[in-house]
Amino acid sequence: MAETAANLFALPPGVDFPAELVAGLLTRMASQPPEAMARVTLILNTQRMRRRVTECFAAKGARFLPRLLLVTDAASLGPTPLPAPVSPLRRRLELSVLLDGLLQTGTTHFPRAALYDLADSLATLMDEMQGEGVPPARIAALDVANHSAHWARTQAFLGIVAGAMDGDAPDNEARLRQAVIALGEGWVTAPPAHPVIVAGSTGSRGTTALLMQAVARLPKGAVVLPGFDFDLPPAVWASMDDALTAEDHPQYRFRRVMDGLGIGHDQVQRWTDAKAPAPGRNRLISLSLRPAPITDQWLAEGPHLPDLPPETESAWIQNHSWVGRLSPAALARRGDRRSAAARLRD
């Protein structure tokens, strides 16, 4: 693996990510004996990704495979076992009992038939809080005095989560976060002797982001990001420091990952030399998704886009309000004599 302060790699949008992931790994392991591949740990984001990676390895012929894990399997990498997690069903039943008690106090009102749906929603909230490392005390400390009364009722409603999270047995998300934190701390003094790679994740969940940061700092670690926009101007990356205006941008999660590692976008390395199959289309989509404060760049950069119909011939624009589906080429044919920039402004 590359010896940098943070081994952060990426592939551009549109490439076959599993195929290029495998190709890049085989290239890096080409000088090693065949059995060295079996000592590689490859941590993937979904079961579907694991199947595709396995298929891509199989297409390369008989060989040793790396150890393929999911992000949710990270607890198995730790040296010491963690307590067994609480069953999701048990957690939801406990929450429904707490909700029933809240209903009987008369401080809030909801149909008794909604107990289990509300318990499911609270369990999902607990997962998110534990995954992001948000303690219940932070919600309890929110100042809602100047807000509508329903905010105070909501705060009391969410107070149920605090009681449920104080138990001795962790939920799946809390257990996974504990494991990742322990891994990161252990790797500081005793990094693994074999390569560890996290691939396909964007760091959208807090625990996953922690794992990615820990792996990227390993001497033999690497993180491979999917769909990274290498052509995004520096001004756009700089504008993503405000979550309120930039959180919806598809590259915002990558900015968070880079911030966590203390590196800039120009330090993200290409995993392979694979080029995007439709670079002009990627540039068009990248420009159209600029964060709100800098959408004036449409007029500045639009005239420099390539001719759009050939680049977007296989793409579809779906509009649920009035037009159904139209290909970009069909929309462009409404004015073939106009420039690409003029069609973009329309």
Dihedral of the alpha carbons of 251, 254, 255, 257, in degrees to the nearest 10? 170
Residue 180 and residue 61 share a domain: yes
- Strand, coil or helix: 51: helix
Residue 311's pLDDT is 63
Residue 243 and residue 228 share a domain: yes
Residue 107 and residue 164 share a domain: yes
Residue 266 and residue 178 share a domain: yes
Bigger pLDDT: 321 vs 68? 68
Backbone angles phi, psi at 86, to 5 degrees: -70, 140
Please report which helix (H) or strand (E) contains residue 53, including its range. Answer: helix 47-59
Residue 3 has pLDDT above 50, yes or no: no
Residue 232's pLDDT is 87
Residue 135's pLDDT is 83
Structural domain boundaries, residue 312? 279-345
Residue 252 and residue 188 share a domain: yes
Give the mean pLDDT of 204-219: 94
Give the mean pLDDT of 227-254: 86
CATH code for position 66: 3.40.50
Residue 326 and residue 265 share a domain: no
DSSP string, 63-126: ----EEEEGGGGGGGSSSPPPPPPPHHHHHHHHHHHHHHHHHHTSS---GGGHHHHHHHHHHHH
Per-residue pLDDT tens for 302-345?
666 666 666 666 666 565 554 444 455 444 445 444 444 444 44
Share of the chain above pLDDT 90, in %: 41
Residue 72 and residue 99 share a domain: no
- Strand, coil or helix: 254: helix
Residue 229 and residue 144 share a domain: no
Give the mean pLDDT of 182-186: 92
Contact 180, 74 (CB under 8 A): yes
- Residue 314 forms part of a structural domain: yes
Averaged confidence pLDDT in the chain? 82
Q: How confident is the model at residue 297 (pLDDT cuts 50, 70, 90)?
A: low
Residue 168's pLDDT is 65
Boundary-marking domain end, from 146, 168, 190: 168
Residue 326's pLDDT is 47
Residue 151 and residue 18 share a domain: no
Per-residue pLDDT tens for 108-129?
677 888 888 988 988 888 888 8
- Residue 261 forms part of a structural domain: yes
Bigger pLDDT: 141 vs 229? 229
Residue 246 and residue 179 share a domain: yes
Residue 149's pLDDT is 66
Number of domains in the chain: 3
Bigger pLDDT: 167 vs 2? 167
Residue 164 has pLDDT above 70, yes or no: yes
Q: How confident is the model at residue 18 (pLDDT cuts 50, 70, 90)?
A: very high
- Residue 254 forms part of a structural domain: yes
Q: Ranked by mean pLDDT, which of 3-12, 49-58, 171-180, 335-344 comes out on top? A: 49-58
